[in-house]
Structure formats: C-alpha cells, structure tokens
Amino acid sequence: MSKSHWNKGFRGRKMEAPLSPRESGKCVAENSKDVFIEEEGVKKIAETLYAKRGCEGFTAQGWKQMNPLAPICMNDEAVNWVFVVDTLNFSFWPDKDDEQCLVTYKDKTYSGYMSLCAAISRAMDEGIPITEASYFANMTLDDLKHVLRSDNNVPMPMIKERHQALTEAGKVLLEHDGSFLKFIRKGGNSAEKMIKLIVETIPSYRDEATFEPVNIAYWQEERNTWIAQILVADFWGILEARGEASIPDIGYLTMFADYRVPQALVYMGALRYSSELMKTLKEGVILASGDRREVEIRGCSIWCVERIKQQLWDIAEQREGCKLEHVNSAVIDFYLWYFAKEHHAEMAHIPIHHTRCIYY
C-alpha cells in the first residue's frame, strides 16, 4: 500500500493515529479549499429524505437496489459473492466515453459496477467456482480475464490490480475455511470491529492519505469505489435479507465516497466545487489518489452526508419526537448512489472526478 502526501515536507514527522472516516471527513471539510458544503442544499435533501422516510429504500433493503444481480438465496455462497464483488469493485470509468466495458448477462447488457456483478454471476452460471476461496486465491491472471471478459473487446480497467487484490483476499479467507462469514464473525457483531479487522488483514482495503497535520484514513469503497465500509454495509444487507440479527453499531459507518455520490451531492446543491476545480474536472484531468482535490471531494462528501443525516434526525425529532436512527449514513449512501444511477442523464453536466486507483 502506498500513502499519498499533500505536503512532502511533512514526511518524516511523527504522525498521529489515523482518524476514522467520520472524523477525517469533518477535518477535511473544515480545511477544504475547493469543495464546500452548502447548508441550504443539505436541508433540501434532508426534507426530501424525510418525505420518503417510510419507503423500503430507507432500510437495509436498499442494498437490494444496488445489488440486483446478487444470488437470490442469501446463503453462504451469496456472502462470498459479495466479498468477491466488493474486492473487485473499483475504477470502472472508461478512458474514453465511447469505450465502456460491457457485459451481457441474461439478455441484458451492463456497464460500470453492474458489469462486474454480471460477470461474476455469469461465471457462476458457467460452472466457474468464482465464489470459492480455494479457486480465486489461486486463479491466474488469464482466469480472471476470462471471468471479466467484455462483449465489446473493451477490457475492464486495472485487471492486474484486480487479480492481485482478489488472490490476496482469497488467501486470507483460506485461513478461515474459505468462508467470508467465518472471517467477518471475528469482528463479533460490531461494524467498527469488522472494519478494523478488514483493513488490518487485507491490504487492498487499506485506503489512507495524509492531510497535515493528521493522517486521514478512509477505510471504505469505494475502495472500489467502496472499501471496507461498503463490505460491512453489504454484509449488513445480507443479514437483513436472511432475517438474522442485525449489527447494533451499524451507525458507525459513514457514506462510501466514490465518483457518483459526490456528483449527486453537487447536482442536488449540497456540495459546491470552486470554479477552478469545476474547470479541471470538465477538462477531464486525472487526479492522483491522495491529491488534495481528490481527498477534499471524498472527505467533504462524507461530512456532507453526516450533515444531511443530522438535519434529517432533527426534522424528525421536531415533528415526530423521534430521530429516525434507522436512516443512517449507509442507507443515505444507498439512496444517493441509486439516485445518481437513475438520473445519470440529467446529471451529465456535473463532471465526476477521475482517479485511477484500487480504492474506488
């Protein structure tokens, strides 16, 4: 894992312990130069969510909207399916807009994150044991290229990095009988402990950047676009689907900073980019992982969703005497990601930031 430094002159100094995603988001937002949280937009989104508070999408069932190709039967194979998909879930944006990697599954063609889900489910239908750790821990690069093959000869980006991430993660599961369920249960029934377990054990889930004077640890997406936090959130969604006991401290999770959610927040008026940053993004400039502007986009997005959640809770408490605590940051992220997916055409004038890395 490599760490990015905003201030090279700061290298060598003793660093404080990494902040949690929530703490780091607040720190970045308070010191951001090019990304700003707009409270009026925050309140507007909170009001929208309050009006939808009874919808199924504002429960763990929102997970199903994001994962429509996941196995219907929520058995241990489905749990490993989530692990494989989340481990490979990063960097889908194409080098050229007209060169998307496309995967057809059951007569429907998918792009982006859904092309990955389609490819993994297709492999299962073909008899490839892609959800078995004994297989994916030892699969060759050519094996993975076959599993993730496209229909239009445009390969999925970063195939070598995906192969390394998956085989490394598979070897970790082999130490737990090849079961993600057995592995994650070492974190007890705590989201916080599960996240720490993941980032301490699986290198590709360790997403950090340095922000003077503290070390910012994102611990999520979205690597892949949704790192350790997304993995825990998806596991929570499966538990809910299976009717099993939930995770009491699921509220520990923040949103999963990626490309589309910041775009949605800007579109909905809760985030604002400086004119300089907007110009840079519209020109298609690739921001390096750890670049100040890239960290500001992700950090401010995290804190923006925290502000939306707090506004929502305040509205509910004022009007109903309750906080709607079941609508947590993870659920709001599910909503915003799905909103961005459903309204991508209307949001096309808002540029996404391009950062080619394994973290989202």
**Which of the residues are catalytic?**
258
**Over 199-251, what HEC string results?**
HHHCHHHCCEEEECCEEEECCEECCCCEEHHHHHHHHHHHHHHHCCCCCCCHH
CB 273 within 8 A of CB 266: yes
CB 236 within 8 A of CB 256: no
Nearest to 49 by CA among 352, 343, 345, 339: 339
Using omega within 30 degrees of 0 as the cis cutoff, is the peptide bond preceding 213 cis? yes
Amino acid at 227: I
Q: How many CB atoms lie within 10 A of CB 349?
A: 7
CA distances from 302 to 143, 146, 282, 296 (A): 36, 36, 22, 10
